[in-house]
Amino acid sequence: MPRVLIVDSEGNQSRSLALALQLEGFHVEVTSSQQDAMALLGGAPDLGLVLIDLMIPGLNGLDLARSIRRTRPSIVIVLTSAYPLSQRQLERTECGAIGFVPKPYDTDEVSAYVRSKATAAFAAG
């Protein structure tokens, strides 16, 4: 199964989500910065999905998503934030994200989202 990268500065929530995804069978990497995320992307050809918090240090999450879209267009991108983002706003960001998960989120729900929605994208890519 493809690897999942979580880019979020909220350590406890990221670790909880990583554990839930690992229980679903995903291989998960967690980082809190865009620099580490880009380094991990460069060395992980099997990376299939990136969950990005909009408020990460350094570049914001939208800039990171756009950078990933340019360099690795097959990667599935999901954004998350405590600030609401409608489907229309998500589309207007032009970052290639397939969805948005509002915080605080239930780790089981996000895990189910990744399993049900992104698995099809992994198979297509």
Model confidence, pTM: 0.88
Q: How far apart are CA 90 and CA 84, in angstroms?
A: 10
Residue pLDDT, tens place only, 81-120: 888 777 778 777 888 888 888 888 888 888 888 887 666 5
Domains of the chain: 3-118 (3.40.50.2300)
pLDDT of residue 121: 57
Return the structure tokens found at 38. Answer: 């880009």
pLDDT beyond 60 at 32:
yes
Query: pLDDT band at residue 6, thresholds of 50, 70 and 90?
Result: very high
Query: pLDDT band at residue 67, thresholds of 50, 70 and 90?
Result: very high
